[in-house]
Structure 1
Amino acid sequence: MHDRPGSDEAATHKVVVVDDDFMVAEIHRRFVDRTKGFTTVAVAHSGAEALDAARTTAPDLLLLDVYLPDMSGLDVLQRLRAEGDAVAVIMITAAREIDTVGRALHGGATDYLVKPFEYAQLREKLEHFRRRAHELATQTSADQTFIDSLFGAGGKAAEPVRLPKGLSAETGRLILDTVRARGELSATECAELAGLSRVSVRRYLEHYLDAGLLELRLEYGGTGRPVRRYRPAGH
């Protein structure tokens, strides 16, 4: 069992990339290494190599494929948990079967990303992991709102299934999680934390405000327009 150090926003998170396809693994490694705050410490192409890398490098995160030549990624996940290793795991796979998704969820996977995907989609997953790790490392107590943000609960209302054209569900969840974790944010603050543009974040925030998931508070300063600050509904 590895004792993993506490994480903060300035820390560099160690990642092990696991994929049986050498070219795909290299692409994922490059994606990880171009993301601020993350570095690849090992690349594995089989379940045995993945387990060995997890034991020897004590990573913060595994990007774990399901289809491996010697065992499935789900078996790797199960063995890690059986050994008491709480390393975060994002399943990165072409597997879409609901049974596979369910096993990953119940096995303790942190997230799940279906191949093929663009860099921006993986970056959102990494940022979500980074933010949650930071919150767990810095909070001394947890109220229900904070707990809901960690476990993906939706507060008073569920996230709308349909988003306006041009808005991504993944980005929307990232923005909602950011607001729920901090309690209240302006569009500028949310954009900085989520690593997105302020204009894009503002569109999502206004959509969720209209949908009833967020509430608005106007913060008045000395001059100029008041700052629009967003918080979870009922907060």
Structure 2
Amino acid sequence: MQFIAICEDQPEELSALSRLLDETLPEFFPNYRIMGYSSGLELMETLRQESEIPSLLFLDIYLKDTTGIQIAQYIRSQGFDIQIIFLTSSREFIMESYDLNVLYYIVKPLDR
């Protein structure tokens, strides 16, 4: 079972990405589960408890309570094997994302 997490503080964007993944993923991963987090601190608490570790994380950079950069730094410092895809409205952190070994850096808005 593939566990995929989305951390996005804008409810419309979280919902839109979840729908897009639900339309696309079954072809590649018949068994998957998506968990949405509207708070970066909520995601970090889940990771700290190590109750569920996603294999793939779609991570907004600009969050209300922390930044995606800080979350990615925490993930890497703890040695979690999570593929990270940054989703952001800015190109500002592209170079920094290389240092964090992210899989992709996608600039919003998302199109099919």
Superposition TM-score tier, normalisation by shorter sequence:
0.7 to 0.9
Show the counterpart of 1:108. 101
1:84 to 79, 84, 104: 79
Relative contact order: is structure 1 or structure 2 higher (C-alpha 8 Å, sep ≥ 6)?
A: 2
* Structure 2 Cα separation of the partners of residues 46 and 77 of structure 1: 14
Shift of 1:63: 0.3
Higher strand content, 1 or 2: 2
* Structure 1 Cα separation of the partners of residues 97 and 12 of structure 2: 24
Show the counterpart of 2:17. 28
TM-score (norm 1): 0.42
Shift of 1:41: 3.0
What are the superposed Cα offsets for residues 155-212 of structure 1, whole Å, 9 maximum, x if unpaired?
A: xxxxxxxxxxxxxxxxxxxxxxxxxxxxxxxxxxxxxxxxxxxxxxxxxxxxxxxxxx
Q: What is the count of residue pairs matched by the alignment?
A: 106
8 A Cα contact 1:17 1:63, kept in partner: yes
Higher helix content, 1 or 2: 1
2:5 aligns to what SS in structure 1?
Answer: strand
- For residues 7-156 of structure 1, the aligned pairs below 5 Å read 12-35=1-24, 36=26, 37=29, 39-54=32-47, 55-97=50-92, 100-119=93-112
Residue identity (%): 25
Given residue 100 of structure 2, which amino acid in structure 1 is its aligned partner? Answer: G
> Which runs of no fewer than 5 residues in structure 2 stay unpaired?
none
Shift of 1:39: 3.4
* Structure 1 Cα separation of the partners of residues 69 and 7 of structure 2: 12
* Structure 1 Cα separation of the partners of residues 52 and 35 of structure 2: 8
* Structure 1 Cα separation of the partners of residues 33 and 62 of structure 2: 20
Report which of the two structures shows the higher radius of gyration computed on alpha carbons: 1
TM-score (norm 2): 0.85
Structural RMSD (CA):
1.6
Given residue 19 of structure 2, which amino acid in structure 1 is its aligned partner? Answer: R
Shift of 1:75: 0.4
